[in-house]
Amino acid sequence: MNFIKNLFSKKTEAIKSYEDFWNWFRTNERPFFNVIKNRGDFEEVFFDKLSPKLNELKQGFFYLTGMVDEHTCELVITADGTVRNIVFVEELVSSAPKIDGWKFTALKPTMDIKGVDIQMAGHKFNSESLSFYPIEHVGYPDEIDLTIVYSDYIEENKNNIVVGTNIFLENYLGELELVETIDSISIIGKDNAENELIPISKLKDYLHWRQKEFIERYKDTRRDTENDSYSSYSATLENGNPAFAMINSDVLKWESKASHPWILSIEIKYDGENNGMPDEDTYSLLGSIEDKIMEDLKDFEGYINIGRETAENTRQIYFACRDFRKPSKTLEQIKSTYSNRLNIDYDIYKDKYWRTFNRYNQV
């Protein structure tokens, strides 16, 4: 299954729900199946038809397809590592009907290491050419920082080696496990290795052990922020405009930050000529939006409002979260509700020790 395509194309007919998409797919599945099985004109018969339909449903879906066996074609819908889209990929596939000859899979699945042999730009990435060792950080015991060692590392081909190694890891571990378990990765050659090398075939066992420990340590950890104290910060930017922040200073001292490893960063842009600050009506609207987000993302359920920053016609709101699925769904709804009034975007990324907010610990 080596066919992947970014799903961005012009709209044709409206696909407004998962059911709409699968109804459309069902009416076209035979030509799709035949072209994949017979290795025909993928671009015209399959890609050019499937891509715009998925794009209408939601931007940011990717896919892989190929024959599992002589009678079964697999369609893998993937977020291509984008955390905020994972839950929607999972929902789309879980809503798929049963269609003879088809297997639908959410996210790139894990593979047996014997079947993972990536060849790219003259390099091979497999169990023989790759090894690893973990880096331990004092004060950050739950951090999973890996050094991946590639035996044929050449500095001039660094970019290709990084891409090839990441493709190997995504296929070997699976898309979801790669996102959920590893905090950071560096890729080096053997000559630069500083610790004993571990065969890459042992990486899954290592990650499962670390993840099991992590889950056991924090499975019931929650934070009640009702009585927390908040600190206000102000600054003057280089252009003379003001910047303000309101941050939960108590929670930044919390020793269980790693229990909420996902940072939800919400960016709201507004119009105005008030030195970058919102006018009274906009200020009220921004407050209402934050309140609506907090109605859905409650602290005792695992979503902590860290605080907000305001400057240069932008309000930035931060949450620390136990998971990434519900925040994705909440923010998509918020974007839809206020799309005609404000420009809202968001990102979700892993930051176990909340380094995003280190600047406020140093004030």
Share of the chain above pLDDT 90, in %: 91
Task: Say if residue 315 is in the same domain as residue 199.
Answer: no
Q: Is residue 272 part of a domain?
A: yes
- Structural domains counted in the chain: 3
Task: Say if residue 209 is in the same domain as residue 236.
Answer: no
Quick one: pLDDT at residue 3? 44
Q: Is residue 184 part of a domain?
A: yes
In this structure, the number of other CB atoms found within 10 A of the CB of residue 208 comes to 12
Task: Say if residue 7 is in the same domain as residue 31.
Answer: yes
Lowest mean per-residue pLDDT among 36-45, 174-183, 346-355: 36-45
Over residues 55-62, mean pLDDT:
94
Quick one: pLDDT at residue 13? 62
Domain of 343, in residue numbers: 230-361
Quick one: pLDDT at residue 263? 98
Examine the fold and report which residue of 167, 195, 218 is the final residue of a domain before the chain moves on: 218
Task: Say if residue 97 is in the same domain as residue 117.
Answer: no
Task: Say if residue 202 is in the same domain as residue 238.
Answer: no
Quick one: pLDDT at residue 40? 84
Task: Say if residue 208 is in the same domain as residue 285.
Answer: no
Q: Is residue 51 part of a domain?
A: yes
List Cα–Cα distances, 94 to 18, 51, 64, 104, 350, in angstroms: 10, 19, 17, 9, 25
Q: Is residue 52 part of a domain?
A: yes
Q: Are 223 and 254 in contact (CB under 8 A)?
A: yes
Task: Say if residue 214 is in the same domain as residue 264.
Answer: no
pTM for the model stands at: 0.92
Quick one: pLDDT at residue 135? 97
Over residues 279-302, mean pLDDT:
97
Mean pLDDT across the chain: 94
Q: Is residue 315 part of a domain?
A: yes
**pLDDT top residue among 39 and 259:** 259
Examine the fold and report which residue of 198, 218, 238 is the final residue of a domain before the chain moves on: 218
Lowest mean per-residue pLDDT among 39-43, 87-91, 170-174, 213-217: 39-43
Q: Is residue 158 part of a domain?
A: yes
Task: Say if residue 131 is in the same domain as residue 22.
Answer: no
Examine the fold and report which residue of 106, 139, 160 is the final residue of a domain before the chain moves on: 106
Q: Is residue 335 part of a domain?
A: yes
Quick one: pLDDT at residue 1? 47
Q: Is residue 224 part of a domain?
A: no
271: domain CATH number is 3.30.70.100
Task: Say if residue 274 is in the same domain as residue 353.
Answer: yes
Residues 6+ apart with CB under 8 A from 181: 144, 173, 207, 210, 211
- Model pLDDT for residues 310-353, shown as the tens digit of each residue: 999 999 999 999 999 999 999 999 999 999 999 999 999 999 99
Residue that is written with structure tokens 């922040």 in the block: 245
Residue 171, pLDDT above cutoff 50: yes
Lowest mean per-residue pLDDT among 4-18, 148-162, 194-208, 322-336: 4-18
Residue that is written with structure tokens 């499937």 in the block: 50
Quick one: pLDDT at residue 9? 41
Task: Say if residue 354 is in the same domain as residue 234.
Answer: yes
Task: Say if residue 53 is in the same domain as residue 68.
Answer: yes
Quick one: pLDDT at residue 362? 66
